[in-house]
A and B are shown apart, each in its own frame.
Chain A
Amino acid sequence: MDGLILVLVISGAVTMLVLVSGMYAASTRNQVLGSYSYEYAGNALVALHYARDSDGNWFWLQLEEKRESSDPSGDTEDYLKANLDLIEKISASSPAGTNLLCFSSSGSFSDCYNLNNNGESLSPLPDPVCGPGSNAYSYTSFIGDEKISFILCY
């Protein structure tokens, strides 16, 4: 009888150990993805300041100009589609399967563009932005009066 009680207690302890180690493994995976993605997205936004478009103009300045036009959504999408080489270069370097470039002016995103789909505009904007079941990691900076976010979806 004592032996059986011991087996029950030890089985419980082993189950707890396995569960806790599983939780630890899952939490570190998210930590790893989060740190790496944050670092990647931040550097990508800095690097975009040095990129030139197919006409030899500074990409960042042109993008800023498109965002200040009378039709920022349409002009941005047209501009991204006219610079597919650059868009492909960005998405090829990313560790994530889906990469979004999003703009916001008052807290919520106004426009998002899928860099893995030729800069196609996400319309209507999904909620959450990466779609249900996906994790989003992002870095946000400023472009003109707007915020620009590089979002990695896993």
Chain B
Amino acid sequence: MKRRGFIGPVGDDLPTIIIIVMALTLFFAGFDYAMSAYNEKNKSLHALKAGLDISRALMKQNVIPEDSSGQVNPDYEGYKQAVLLSQSYGTSFSAVLKDGSCELIDCRAPEGRSVSVFSFLTAAKSSGGSINLKTLCVCVWE
């Protein structure tokens, strides 16, 4: 025998179920938003810490020695430390000495990577022995 207005055990609770599903969707969407914001910021803090530590290693000496091409000498102790630090952070980096700003710099990073660029005013010693003020551009990517 059929009862009028009764559409089954689930059917009777359907309005409540829809509201609960909507509420849970809203909650998890908000939770996902908050988590992605948190992860993104943590990632940028990790990149910052890596970038600053690598830069600090590169500027271990007040005057950075250049190689014959005018770039940071790879035999320089600070550069070797920067390589080790970069490996320990799980990042890669490139360091370029320039006369102007670090804008439009070619970081030589693989395509599609998010690159953080840090610039510092530094004194650099050329292979000829002269000391000049230069901008040290440090690019760091994961």
Contact = CB atoms under 8 A, between A and B. Distances in A.
A91 to B, nearest CB: 9
Interface in B17-36: 19-20, 22-24, 26-27, 29-31, 33-34
Interface size class, chain A: 35 or more
Contacts of B34: 17-18, 20-21
Contacts of B37: 21-22, 24-25
* Dominant secondary structure of chain B at its interface with chain A: helix
A32 B45 contact: yes
Nearest to A1: B16
Contacts of B100: 89, 92-93
B30 A31 contact: no
Nearest to B27: A10
A63 to B, nearest CB: 14
A17 B44 contact: no
A3 B52 contact: no
Interface string A40-58: 1001101111111000000
B16 A2 contact: yes
Interface string A81-123: 0000010011011110000000000000000000000000000
Interface string A1-35: 01110110011011101101110110010011001
Given A6-B19, A14-B27, A32-B44, A24 B38 contact: yes
Contacts of B15: 3
Contact of B44 (A28, A44, A50): A28
Given A28-B44, A36-B52, A43-B122, A93 B27 contact: no
17 contacts: A3-B15, A3-B23, A10-B27, A11-B23, A13-B30, A15-B30, A17-B30, A18-B33, A25-B37, A28-B41, A32-B48, A47-B133, A49-B123, A50-B133, A51-B133, A90-B121, A92-B135
Given A7-B19, A13-B27, A47-B122, 13 more contacts: A7-B26, A10-B26, A14-B27, A15-B30, A21-B34, A21-B38, A24-B37, A25-B37, A44-B121, A47-B133, A49-B62, A50-B62, A86-B133
